[in-house]
Amino acid sequence: MLARLSASTVIKKSTAGLVFNEARRAISVQSILHGSPEAKEEGDVQVQQHSRVVARGKYIHGFEIHRVKPSAVDEYKKAAEGYYASIKDDPELHVKLTGSWETVVGEQDTFFHILEYENYSGYDKTTAKIRTSEYYNAYKKMAPYLNSRSLQLSQEFAFFPTAPPHTEGGIFELRCYQLKPGTLLEWEQTWRRGIEARRKFVEPVGAWFSQVGRLHQVYHLWQYPDLKARKETREKAWQLDGWAETVAKTAHFSKFMDAYILQPLPYSPLK
């Protein structure tokens, strides 16, 4: 009888342990697949902390990227000017056009438009107003000429606010880095030192990191008289103490990177 009770007790304990382990494993799997509330809360806090530490925080910049049909580039440019040139001059929209560019080296037939909103509430109000105005019809006129489009919301790095409108001529270089998750703070610290040194030769136009859309992306924008001047400036940077370390760490933090040579469109405030 005692032997039966012992065996029964062992079976019950084993069964209970198996059920507990299965439940715990199910919770673990669910956390991996969907993210536990604790993990989500911790992730939200980390994102907020990153934004507070590295961001200027005053504005949100929308990166609108349009990939245009090669046969319709001229028609697209006219339609784009009809939309972006008109919204930038309307003070009631509370949006500023930082600039509009065409890629000349890199992914061809691609256009970048960067718009500045008064934080997220400004973005919400502006886009809602555009959807119910004549501007929306102007926006839709671009659609027939597009192969694809994307929108990403980004914040400025605190170490360099976006340059105001100016007309200096030349070319722009947009550098895009896809960072490994969790390396944004280290990247910011590295580039803060690197850009301060490089500013002896050239001023950055702006630097941003993504908040909505493709995450863990970083952009910085430079302006040069021409490609020859770009080459000479970059060669001078290699002579600075610490620049090689900045480049090495950038490669370590990045999954991949791109450099686009851009030409401003006639109505662009930055050109």
Question: Residues 246, 257, 164, CA angle at the centre, nearest 5°?
Answer: 75
Res 42: pLDDT: 43
Residue with token string 């929209």: 93
The answer to whether 207 touches 73, Cβ cutoff 8 Å, is: no
Question: What gap in Å lies between CA 184 and CA 206, rounded to an integer?
Answer: 17
Question: What gap in Å lies between CA 173 and CA 178, rounded to an integer?
Answer: 16
The answer to whether 57 touches 157, Cβ cutoff 8 Å, is: no
- pTM reported for the whole predicted model: 0.79
Res 55: pLDDT: 61
pLDDT-based confidence at 174, cuts 50/70/90? Answer: very high
Q: Is the predicted pLDDT of residue 7 greater than 60, yes or no? A: no
Query: Which has the closest alpha carbon to 179: 128, 252, 96?
Result: 252
Q: Is the predicted pLDDT of residue 17 greater than 50, yes or no? A: no
Question: Residues 210, 215, 219, CA angle at the centre, nearest 5°?
Answer: 40
Question: What gap in Å lies between CA 260 and CA 104, rounded to an integer?
Answer: 8
What are the pLDDT digits (tens) for 94-148? 899 999 999 999 999 999 999 999 999 999 999 999 999 999 999 999 999 999 9
Neighbours of 149 (CB within 10 A): 14
The answer to whether 270 touches 98, Cβ cutoff 8 Å, is: yes
The tokens for 100 are 């509009």
With a pLDDT cut of 70, the percent of the chain lying above it is 78
Sorted by sequence, the CB contacts under 8 Å of residue 220 that are 6+ apart come out as 174, 175, 191, 195, 204, 206, 207, 208
